[in-house]
C-alpha cells in the first residue's frame, strides 16, 4: 500500500516540484523571481491573463444561463423525450472541444462559413455582410460554452433529481403557487449546484487549450494556455512557461476549494428520511416549445458541427454543400490510405487509451476500496492523492511532466510512457470518484459475511465485491478510454513523432489547413467514442456515465 502512495506521489508531486523549481530559477539555475515579475509586468503575458479571466467568466455565465433551465426542464418537468436530451448533452460532452472548434470554423468562418453563406443566400446580403465571425472573442466564448455547458447541466440535473418532492409538496399544500415554490424551495436548493457548476465551467474554460489555439490565434489574441504553449517555440523558455503555469494551478486549487465548500453544504438540504420522487411540473401547452428550445440549444454543440464535419468529409471543397457534382470519397481515401501518420496515431491512441483505462481503473479501484472500507491507516491521504490531479490543468501537467522526464534519471520523453502517465493522472480523479461511489453501494456486510466464513480479505473482494462492481468498473474503463481520445492539452506538450496521438494529428492538420482530412479523422474518432459510450451504457444495471471529468 505504501507503494501505491509512493506511486501517486510520484505521479503528482514530481511534475509539480519541477514546475515550481523552474519557475523560480533562471537559465543558470540561480534563484530568481524575475520570471514572475516578467509575467505581471510584460503586457505580452498580462494581456492573455486578463483575456483568459474574462473569457472564463463569460463562458461560465453562458453555460449556466443555458444549462440551468435545461437541467430543470429535463429533471423536473414533463418535457417530452427527456432521455434524448440527456443523450445529446452527453454527445456534446464527449465531443473533443478542439474538434468542435474546427467544425465551427467550417460553420461560422466569417466569409466561407456554411451558416454565413446560407445567410447571404437567404437574405441576398452582400459579400461584406455576415451573421457570425467565429474568429473573434465572442466566437471563442461561444464555442467553449458549447462544450462546457454539459458539466453544469449534469451537476444541476443531478442535484434537481435529488431534491425530494416532499418539500415542494409542502409548499404547495401550504398554498404556495408554482412561482413561490420555485423561488423559495427549488431554486435555493439547486443554487449550490449552480454555483458549483459555474466554478467548474470557469475552470474548464480557463484551462482549455485546443479551442483557443484554433480560434484565438487567427483572431489575433492569446489566452494563457496558448501563451504557455508558445513559450515552447524555438528557443524554448521553460522557466517562463513554468511561471505562467502557476497562476492557472493556484486559481484552480482555490476554485476547487470553493466548490467543495459550496457543495459540502448541499448534504444538509436533502436530509429528511425517505422522500418521494420529485414532482414533475406540468408544462402543458409549453411542452413542445420547451423541447424545441432544448433542441435549438443542442444544434450548436451537436447537430450543426457534426453536419459540417460530415459535409466536409464527402465534399471536394470543405465549405461547399455536398452535391452530386462535388461528392467525393477522396478525403476518406487520403486519410486512410495516403496519410502515413494515420496508422501510427490510431495505434498509439488505442494503446494509450486501453492501458490508461486499465491502469487508471485499477488504481481507482484499489484506492476506492481502501478509502470506503477505511482498510488502512492513512486512507484519507490516499483519497486525497487520487483526487489531487483535478487541480492540475492539462497543459500545466504537460509542462510539469515535460520538465520532469526530459532529464535524467528517468528520460521518458519520446516514449508512450510519459503520455500514459499524463493520461492516467488526468483520468484518476474522475475514475476514483466513480468507483468510490460504486463501493459505497455495496454494503460491507456482504464482505463481512464472506470473511466470517473464512475467506481472506482478497478472496472476499474477488468473490463478493468484484462481481457486484463489474458494471461500474467497465463503465469507468470506457469513461477513461473516451477521455484519452479527447485529450489534447497535455499530449501537445509531450508527443514526439513516434508517439503522436489522433488529437495531436488533428491539431497538426488544422495548422496546415487540411480541413477535409480533419473531418474524416474527427468523425472516425466520434464513431469510436460513441461505440464505447454505448457499450458502457448497455451494460445492465448501469445507469448512465456520471459526466464529470477534468
Partner 1 sequence: MRDALFTRRDILKASAALAIGATGATRVASAPAAESVTPALIAAARKEGKVVWYTVMDLPVAEKLARAFEAKYPGIPVRVERSGAERQFQRLAQEVASRIYAADVVNSSDAAHFIVWKRDGWLAPYVPEDVARHYPAEHRDPDGLYATSRIWLSSLGYNTNLVKPEEAPKSFADLLDPKWMGKMVKGHPTYSGTILTATFQIARDLGWEYFEKLAKQKVLQVQSSTDPPKKLALGERAVMADGNDYNLVQLKEAGRSVEIVYPSEGTPLIVGPNGVFKMAPNANAARLFQSYLLSLEGQQLLIDFSGQHSAHPLVKEKAGRKPLGEIKLMKDDPAAVEKQSEEIKARYTKIFGV
Binding residues (CB under 8 A) for partner 1: these are 44, 109-112, 127, 135, 216-222, 230, 232-236, 317-319, 334, 338-341, 344, 406, 411, 413-414, 496-498, 508-509, 511-515, 517
- Is 180:147 a contact under the CB 8 Å cutoff? no
336 CB contacts (<8 Å, ≥6 apart)? 342, 520
Helix (H), strand (E), coil (C) string for 148-175: CHHHHHHHHHHHHHHCCHHHHHHHHHCC
Nearest to 109 by CA among 192, 262, 252, 218: 218
Q: Give the nearer residue to partner 1 in terms of CB position, either 13 or 219.
A: 219
Nearest to 399 by CA among 256, 224, 202, 141: 224
Q: Give the nearer residue to partner 1 in terms of CB position, either 230 or 459.
A: 230
Closest CB 518 distance from partner 1, rounded Å: 11
Sign of the alpha-carbon torsion through 50, 51, 54, 60? negative
Closest CB 12 distance from partner 1, rounded Å: 23
- Is 499:419 a contact under the CB 8 Å cutoff? yes
Closest CB 469 distance from partner 1, rounded Å: 41
Q: Give the nearer residue to partner 1 in terms of CB position, either 44 or 170.
A: 44
Q: How far is residue 100's CA from residue 304's CA, in Å, rounded to a whole number?
A: 10
Nearest to 213 by CA among 525, 488, 515: 488
Q: What is the CA radius of gyration of the chain?
A: 24
Q: How far is residue 102's CA from residue 515's CA, in Å, rounded to a whole number?
A: 8
Q: Give the nearer residue to partner 1 in terms of CB position, either 414 or 444.
A: 414
Closest CB 13 distance from partner 1, rounded Å: 22
For residue 445, give the H/E element and its range: helix 444-452
Q: Give the nearer residue to partner 1 in terms of CB position, either 220 or 273.
A: 220
Q: Give the nearer residue to partner 1 in terms of CB position, either 256 or 308.
A: 308
Closest CB 223 distance from partner 1, rounded Å: 11
Closest CB 56 distance from partner 1, rounded Å: 19
Closest CB 51 distance from partner 1, rounded Å: 11
- Is 23:36 a contact under the CB 8 Å cutoff? yes
Q: Give the nearer residue to partner 1 in terms of CB position, either 134 or 163.
A: 134
Q: Give the nearer residue to partner 1 in terms of CB position, either 86 or 222.
A: 222
Q: Give the nearer residue to partner 1 in terms of CB position, either 48 or 353.
A: 48
Q: How far is residue 102's CA from residue 210's CA, in Å, rounded to a whole number?
A: 9
Closest CB 37 distance from partner 1, rounded Å: 19
User: Which residues of 314-370 form beta strands (DSSP E)?
Assistant: none
Number of residues written out for the chain: 550
Nearest to 190 by CA among 252, 255, 265: 265
Nearest to 446 by CA among 468, 416, 431, 417: 468
Q: Give the Å distances, CA to CA, from 108 to 130, 221, 304, 318, 518.
A: 9, 18, 10, 13, 17
Closest CB 14 distance from partner 1, rounded Å: 17
Q: Give the nearer residue to partner 1 in terms of CB position, either 236 or 276.
A: 236
User: Burial of 126 by CB count in 10 Å (0-12 exposed, 13-18 middle, 19+ buried)?
Assistant: exposed
Nearest to 99 by CA among 320, 382, 301: 301
Closest CB 367 distance from partner 1, rounded Å: 32
Q: Give the nearer residue to partner 1 in terms of CB position, either 233 or 323.
A: 233
Closest CB 315 distance from partner 1, rounded Å: 11
Q: Give the count of beta carbons closer than 10 Å to the beta carbon of residue 336.
A: 14
Amino acid at each position: 500500500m505504501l507503494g501505491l502512495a509512493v506511486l501517486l506521489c510520484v505521479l503528482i508531486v514530481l511534475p509539480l516540484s519541477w514546475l515550481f523549481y523552474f519557475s523560480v530559477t533562471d537559465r543558470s539555475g540561480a534563484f530568481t523571481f524575475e520570471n514572475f515579475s516578467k509575467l505581471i509586468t510584460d503586457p505580452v503575458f498580462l494581456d492573455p491573463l486578463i483575456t483568459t479571466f474574462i473569457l472564463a467568466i463569460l463562458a461560465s455565465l453562458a453555460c449556466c444561463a443555458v444549462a440551468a433551465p435545461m437541467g430543470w426542464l429535463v429533471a423536473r418537468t414533463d418535457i417530452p423525450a427527456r432521455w434524448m436530451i440527456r443523450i445529446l448533452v452527453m454527445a456534446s460532452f464527449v465531443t473533443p472541444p478542439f474538434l468542435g472548434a474546427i467544425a465551427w470554423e467550417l460553420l461560422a468562418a466569417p466569409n466561407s462559413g456554411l451558416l454565413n453563406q446560407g445567410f447571404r443566400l437567404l437574405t441576398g446580403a452582400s459579400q461584406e455582410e455576415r451573421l457570425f465571425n467565429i474568429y473573434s472573442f465572442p466566437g471563442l466564448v461561444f464555442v467553449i460554452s458549447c462544450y462546457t455547458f454539459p458539466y453544469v447541466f449534469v451537476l444541476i440535473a443531478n442535484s434537481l433529481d435529488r431534491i425530494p418532492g416532499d418539500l415542494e409538496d409542502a409548499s404547495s399544500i401550504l398554498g404556495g403557487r408554482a412561482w413561490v415554490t420555485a423561488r423559495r424551495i427549488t431554486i435555493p436548493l439547486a443554487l449550490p449546484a449552480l454555483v458549483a457548476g459555474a466554478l467548474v465551467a470557469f475552470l474548464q474554460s480557463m484551462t482549455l487549450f485546443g479551442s483557443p489555439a484554433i480560434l484565438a490565434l487567427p483572431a489575433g489574441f492569446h489566452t494563457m494556455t496558448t501563451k504557455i504553449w508558445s513559450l515552447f517555440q524555438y528557443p524554448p523558455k521553460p522557466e517562463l512557461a513554468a511561471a505562467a503555469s502557476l497562476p492557472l494551478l493556484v486559481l484552480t486549487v482555490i476554485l476547487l476549494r470553493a466548490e467543495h465548500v459550496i457543495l459540502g453544504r448541499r448534504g444538509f438540504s436533502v436530509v429528511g428520511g425517505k422522500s418521494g420522487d420529485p414532482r414533475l411540473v406540468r408544462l402543458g401547452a409549453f411542452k413542445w416549445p420547451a423541447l424545441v428550445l432544448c433542441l435549438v440549444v443542442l444544434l450548436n454543440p451537436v447537430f450543426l458541427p457534426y453536419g459540417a464535419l460530415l459535409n466536409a468529409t464527402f465534399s471536394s471543397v470543405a465549405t461547399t454543400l455536398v452535391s452530386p457534382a462535388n461528392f467525393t470519397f477522396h478525403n476518406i481515401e487520403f486519410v486512410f490510405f495516403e496519410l502515413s501518420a494515420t496508422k501510427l496515431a490510431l495505434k498509439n491512441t488505442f494503446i494509450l487509451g486501453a492501458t490508461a483505462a486499465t491502469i487508471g481503473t485499477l488504481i481507482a479501484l484499489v484506492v476506492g476500496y481502501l478509502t470506503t472500507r477505511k482498510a488502512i491507516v492513512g486512507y484519507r491521504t490516499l483519497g486525497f492523492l487520487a483526487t489531487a490531479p483535478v487541480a492540475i490543468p492539462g497543459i500545466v501537467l504537460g509542462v510539469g511532466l515535460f520538465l520532469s522526464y526530459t532529464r535524467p534519471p528517468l528520460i521518458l520523453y519520446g516514449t508512450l510512457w510519459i503520455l500514459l502517465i499524463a493520461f492516467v493522472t488526468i483520468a484518476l480523479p474522475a475514475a476514483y470518484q466513480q468507483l468510490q461511489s460504486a463501493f459505497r453501494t455495496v454494503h460491507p456486510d456482504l464482505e463481512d459475511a464472506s470473511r466470517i466464513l473464512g475467506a481472506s480479505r482478497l478472496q472476499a473482494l474477488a468473490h463478493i465485491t468484484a462481481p457486484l462492481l463489474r458494471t461500474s468498473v467497465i463503465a469507468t474503463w470506457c469513461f477513461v478510454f473516451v477521455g484519452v481520445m479527447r485529450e489534447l492539452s497535455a499530449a501537445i506538450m509531450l508527443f514526439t513523432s513516434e508517439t503522436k496521438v489522433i488529437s495531436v494529428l488533428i491539431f497538426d492538420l488544422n495548422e496546415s489547413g487540411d480541413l477535409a482530412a480533419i473531418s474524416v479523422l474527427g468523425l472516425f474518432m466520434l464513431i469510436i467514442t460513441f461505440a464505447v459510450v454505448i457499450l458502457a451504457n448497455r451494460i445492465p444495471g448501469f445507469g448512465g456515465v456520471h459526466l464529470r471529468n477534468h
